[in-house]
Structure formats: C-alpha cells, structure tokens
Amino acid sequence: MIKDTRKILLFLISFLFLLISCLPFHSAWGGEELRIADSAGDWGYPNPFRHYPRGPGYVRMSFIFDTLIWKNNNGFIPALAESWNYNPSDMTFTFHLNSNAKWHDGKPVTGEDVAFTVEYFRTHPYRFIKIADIEDVQPEDGNTVVFRLSTPYAPFLSIIGASMPILPKHIWETVEKPEVYDDPKAFVGSGPYLFGDFDKTKGTYLYRAFVDYYLGCPKVDRLIYIRSANPLLSLTSGEADLANIRPEMAKHLAKKGMTVISDEHGWVKKLMVNHKKWPLSETRFRKALAYAINQSEIIEKSHRGFASPASYGLLSVDHEMYNPAVPTYPYNPAKSIQLLESLGFTKNQSGMFQKNGKELKLELLCSTITAAGENVADRDGEVIKNQLQHIGIEIELIHMERTTADVHIKKWDFDLALSGHGGITGDPVIMNQMILSSYGGGSVNSSRYDENRQLNEILEKSVSEMDHKKRTELVYEAQMIYATELPSIALYYPHAFSAYNPEKSVHWFYTKGGMATGIPISQNKTALIR
C-alpha cells in the first residue's frame, strides 16, 4: 500500500513538473527563454494582414499561424493536416486535419476554418499565395476538407498547403478591414506560440508557448526577438542565443563554442532593369550591361569573397530544376562596347557613349537591402557604377530608403535598381512571380516582363504541368529564354550563415528549398517543437 502511494505521488510530481515546464511564462522551475537578435527589428505585426511583405515578416507570423503542411529538411511534413492526397481525375487535394488541433482560444480547428480562409483571401488577397486556380473548398466532415481546382496547379502544396496561414472563422468572419484590425483576437492562431507583445519603437517581439499545441508543448517557454545594431556582439555577450552573422566570423564563433550553420544559395542579388524605356528595352543593350558587369569583382570588393556568381536563368544553382546550360555573360568590356555600337552609340571626346548628340546616362537606385532576414548596406552600386563608366556609360548613383526605392520601382520611375529576394530554391513558380506581371505585379522584385510571348506561355504551362519530368523540361526552357532576354540581371548569391548557442535546447537549421514559398531564413519553427 505504501509503495503504491509512493508511486502515485511520484507520478503526480512528475506530471506537475511537466505541466509547469510548459507554462508560457517564466516560473520557479526555470522555464527556458530564447532570444533572437535582428538588426532591423520591425517586421510588422505578426498576423497575415499586418506583417511586412518580406520573408522575415512571414516568419514572425508563422510562429502564431499554422499552415496545412510545413517543411523540414526532408520536405513536406504534417502540420494542421496529418495526411493528404491528390486525385488527378477530378483535380482535388484532400486534407485530413489533426483532430487535436486547437485555436489559441481553445476552439477546435475544423474544415470550415480552412474553407473560410480561402474565401476570405479571395476578398482580401494575401500576397504570399495565389488562389485563383482553386474552384472551391468543401469540408466533408469536421476533420476533412477537399480543394477542387479549376485547372491543374503544380505548386499547390508549396504555395497553398505549406504557405497559406489558416484563419479562425469564428474571429475573422465579421472583420471587414483586416489591414487595420488590431483587436487581440487578430493574433489568435493555431501555431506553437501565442502572441505576447510587439514594441514597434524598440523592434522587439515576445511569444509565449502554447501549452495545448497539437504537436506537443514547445521546447521554449518564451521566444523573444530583440533589435540589435550588432547581432554578433549580442550573440557573443549572451544577450542573444541566435543571430545571422557575417561569413568571415564563422570560424571565430565556432572556436568560441557556438554552432555555426550555413544555407544553400537561396537568395539572389540582381540588377533590376526598366525595360519599358529605350535603350533598356533593347535586348542587345541589356546584354551589353551584363558583359560590362564583373560579378567576381562585385563579390571581392563588396563582400570580401563571401558570395557566389549567380545564374542568369534566375533559379538557384542549388535548385533541382536548375538548367546548367543557360547562357552566360563572362566579363567582356570589348563585347559590351561592340553591342552598344551596334545600337548606334558612339563615343564622344570624353570617352562616354552618346547618340544623336545626347550622352548615354542612366540612374542607378541603391538602398539598404534585406538579405536572409538582415538589413545590409548596399555597396554594390559603387562597384557597378565604376564598371559601367569604364566602358562609357555615365551612371548617377542615387541612394534611397528601401521603401522609397520600392515606390519608384513599382511606378517604373527608374533606369536601373539594385534589389534582391529569396525563393529561388523553392517551387519554380518563383519564376512566374519574378517575371510575369500577372503573378508578381505586387512585388518590387518582379521584372514584370510580358514582352516575350513564348516565355509567358511556357511559364503558364509549367504551373499546370503535374508531371514532374515534363515540368522540369518546361522550367529548363524558361530559364534559357530568361537568360537570353535578361529582363533583369542576376549578380550573386551572398553566403548566409547563422550561429546559435548550443547550450539551449533548440538546434536551428536552414530549410532545404526554404520555408513556405522558399524563405531562406534559419528560424524554422519545427526546431522549437519537441
């Protein structure tokens, strides 16, 4: 009897310890806290309608709002849906939801919520997804939901399944203006963390563990983002447990006992070209720019060698559908000059090109950029300016705030502009998004290049081709045409590194192909789940 009583007491104590260790606050039992340093800080409020339209904003939101499926380094994994299948005969995706999934307010997640989310995004578009090819969504019972497509859509699992945050119908069905909805209920999701606080001025975020998370209590009680002018210093001083770092610091930090991780080539820096105005509308002129730009010199002078030359076909060299046969433009000033002369340009007494008495002069917009989640000062503009002026093109370098530059690019009020984006190791639909105006009209990184009908048709066909081999052939062909037309010029892939404190319970990683639509940031929420 005494032994039985002791067993019961030991069980109750163990259960109580487990319960308290999962509480979303610090406790006397020493609940774990984890801090992430970030140089930007403010990425908007973490819900689908108020986070900023870049990868870090999406990642902050993803801790609170789950998708049907997610990704780890082995590919797609269950999230709200514990299983799924595709029926090609009637073009339907069926998802079977996890019966344990709950909203943060305790209500169950159902197929009605999923169907509602799609219809809500029809009325209030969410820029990270495209739902035009979804004909309807029908809940079959509480835990099953069927998506019927109007046409085959190859990126469905990536763009919808693994990227679309599911909304609670009982909260959002009465919200008419989601972009200004700031009730605390706006942050009720089904993800592993509850929204605690966002200080826009300080650029800090606080998340608290959701004890009833359907995939298990998160490892860390409190997750905190801190804005830091020097994330590396925050990491080495112990103020932060994870930070993006400069590549040259990787060996030093490893010797200090930090765990250093590196990403694939998932982010590209490129030169945006205003192909709506002459002479930038001429393919020969764009090729002249490509031959005049020395990728290796940019990498050495701006990044001390910590980057790799990019493929002119847009997709990353690490992508499974990368075409190694795309045209290249090795540094060749003589070839560049020859192409400019073929367009009727001649050099004046100053050695600069002119035509009909008017000197060839272009503006180049530069601004602070966001690479893999960090704001980075753009030094590439000066190098490119010198390279183009070397062959006889006068360049006026104009520095702007990122948001101001974005406005100019969207309005086609520019000649050349430096920009960059991730997603190039994710689903190849990124080519549609970064080339065609019908897909990427909302993105400042999109070339919005519809002039080549063949390229347009191939890209459209590639998203409806469900056969992987046939789709690969189409994507190969699209890369060839893109690299020949050069509506924008890919420059390099910066080497991305993060470092974290291995004494914490969380072991971070970069996701192969990037999270969701291809976001190349090391903060995958599955690292926080037991």
Same domain for 94 and 125, yes or no, is: yes
DSSP codes, 262-310: E--S--EEEEEE-TTSTTTT-HHHHHHHHHH--HHHHHHHHHTT-EEEP
For residue 117, give the H/E element and its range: helix 111-123
Segment 170-199 shows an average pLDDT of: 97
Same domain for 164 and 234, yes or no, is: no
Domain end among 159, 190, 221: 190
Same domain for 514 and 413, yes or no, is: no
Residue numbers of the domain that contains 401: 268-494
Same domain for 318 and 174, yes or no, is: no
Q: 178 preceded by cis ω (within 30°)?
A: no
| Neighbour order of strands in the sheet with 204-209 | 193-199, 204-209, 222-227, 33-38, 242-245, 497-500, 259-262
**Average per-residue pLDDT for the chain:** 91
Same domain for 368 and 402, yes or no, is: yes
Same domain for 334 and 445, yes or no, is: yes
Same domain for 490 and 345, yes or no, is: yes
Same domain for 167 and 214, yes or no, is: no
Residue 48 lies in a domain: no
Contacts of 284 (CB under 8 A, 6+ apart): 339, 342, 343
Same domain for 139 and 170, yes or no, is: yes
SS3 for 187? helix
Strands 193-199 and 394-399 turn out to be: unpaired
Domain end among 190, 211, 243: 190
Residue 50 lies in a domain: no
Q: Would you say residue 27 has pLDDT above 60?
A: no
* Closest to 37 measured CA to CA, from 231, 303, 167: 231
Same domain for 89 and 211, yes or no, is: no
What share of the chain in percent tops pLDDT 70? Answer: 92
* CA distance linking residue 466 with residue 218, whole number of Å: 36
Weakest mean pLDDT among 234-238, 365-369, 505-509: 365-369
* CA distance linking residue 386 with residue 375, whole number of Å: 24
pLDDT digits 0-9 by tens, 72-129: 988 999 999 999 999 999 999 999 999 999 999 999 999 999 999 999 999 999 988 9
Residue 144, domain CATH: 3.90.76.10
* CA distance linking residue 325 with residue 72, whole number of Å: 30
* CA distance linking residue 441 with residue 167, whole number of Å: 25
Q: Would you say residue 162 has pLDDT above 50?
A: yes
- The answer to whether residues 312 and 489 touch, using CB atoms and an 8 Å cutoff, is yes
* CA distance linking residue 393 with residue 347, whole number of Å: 10
Expressed in percent and rounded to 5, the helix, strand and coil fractions of the chain are 30, 25, 45
Q: Would you say residue 22 has pLDDT above 90?
A: no
* Total tally of structural domains belonging to the chain: 3
Q: Is the dihedral of CA 373, 377, 382, 383 positive or negative?
A: negative
* CA distance linking residue 499 with residue 110, whole number of Å: 38
Segment 32-42 shows an average pLDDT of: 92
Tokens representing residue 490 in the block: 């890919």
Q: Is the dihedral of CA 268, 274, 280, 283 positive or negative?
A: positive
Q: Would you say residue 373 has pLDDT above 80?
A: no
Tokens representing residue 186 in the block: 């706006």
* CA distance linking residue 242 with residue 261, whole number of Å: 11
Q: What is the dihedral of CA 463, 469, 473, 478, to 10 degrees?
A: 30
- The answer to whether residues 33 and 206 touch, using CB atoms and an 8 Å cutoff, is no
Residue 49 lies in a domain: no
Task: Give how far the C-alpha of residue 517 lies from the chain's centroid of Cα atoms, to the nearest Å.
Answer: 6
Residue 208, domain CATH: 3.40.190.10
* CA distance linking residue 278 with residue 76, whole number of Å: 45
Domain end among 190, 205, 229: 190
* pLDDT, greater one: 223 or 27: 223
Q: Would you say residue 302 has pLDDT above 80?
A: yes
* CA distance linking residue 505 with residue 373, whole number of Å: 23
Residue 503 lies in a domain: yes
Weakest mean pLDDT among 128-132, 156-160, 489-493, 521-525: 128-132
* CA distance linking residue 113 with residue 21, whole number of Å: 31
Residue 144 lies in a domain: yes
For residue 146, give the H/E element and its range: strand 144-149
* CA distance linking residue 505 with residue 498, whole number of Å: 16
- The answer to whether residues 244 and 498 touch, using CB atoms and an 8 Å cutoff, is yes
Residue 290, domain CATH: 3.10.105.10
Same domain for 465 and 382, yes or no, is: yes
Residue 380: phi and psi, rounded to 5, are -70, -30
* CA distance linking residue 52 with residue 44, whole number of Å: 5
Same domain for 150 and 92, yes or no, is: yes
Residue 150 lies in a domain: yes
Residue 46 lies in a domain: no
* Closest to 417 measured CA to CA, from 431, 397, 432: 397
Q: Would you say residue 25 has pLDDT above 50?
A: no
Residue 109 lies in a domain: yes
pLDDT digits 0-9 by tens, 374-417: 555 578 999 999 999 999 999 999 999 888 998 999 999 999 99
DSSP codes, 291-358: HH--HHHHHHHHHTT-EEEPPTTSS-TTSTT--TTS------HHHHHHHHHHTT-EE-TTS-EEETTE
Q: Would you say residue 21 has pLDDT above 70?
A: no
